[in-house]
Amino acid sequence: MTRKAPPAPLSQAWTGAQVEAHAHAALTAALDYFRIPDHWEVTLCFSGGDGDNAGEVHVDQTYLRATITLNTEYLRTSPQKVWETVGHEVAHIALAPFDAFWVGLPDKTQGKQREQYVRAVENTVVQLTRMWLRDHPDPA
Ligand SMILES: [Zn+2]
């Protein structure tokens, strides 16, 4: 999940088509960067609305599929976040085996442990996103 930052002025807004094209370019580069194997099927979805997130990912470990949903309306006004958000969500796919491990543990529903686990994964994804942005700066 990638939280939203305050949007830029509308004068800098992109069209939805620009956001989608840039997101597809970012996805290709991020899948390569994070070495997501070719047998994974990763799909981009675009939604409008004022949800709390710039993007989120749903991972299906069993069938090796993932769907990244991007908030197009938000990203139109923060186009510099497109590249970062896609990289962030692909980093979540790279760490998805940890989620599969967690789900298999007994007593996984204990609140404090769950919170610590989610925070540790998110902090690691943020670090991986920084590496992505350093090694692959947004070309836009
Ligand atoms: Zn996240």
Please answer whether residues 13 and 77 qualify as being in contact, where contact means their C-beta atoms are separated by less than 8 angstroms: yes
Residue 63, pLDDT above cutoff 80: yes
In this predicted model, which residue has the larger pLDDT, 73 or 106? 73
Ligand 1 centroid to 59 CA: how many Å?
13
Mean pLDDT along residues 32-58: 91
Please answer whether residues 121 and 98 qualify as being in contact, where contact means their C-beta atoms are separated by less than 8 angstroms: yes
Residue 75, pLDDT above cutoff 80: yes
Domain annotation for the chain: domains and CATH numbers: 2-135 (1.10.10)
Q: What percent of the chain is modeled with pLDDT above 90? A: 64
Partner residues linked to 45 by β-bridges: 69
The predicted model scores a pTM of 0.89
For residue 133, give the nearest of 26, 8, 50, 15 by alpha carbon: 26
Q: What percent of the chain is modeled with pLDDT above 70? A: 90
Ligand 1 centroid to 95 CA: how many Å?
11
Residues whose beta carbons lie less than 5 angstroms from ion ligand 1: 1, 125
**Predicted local distance difference test score (pLDDT) of residue 108:** 57
Ligand 1 centroid to 124 CA: how many Å?
9
Ligand 1 centroid to 90 CA: how many Å?
9
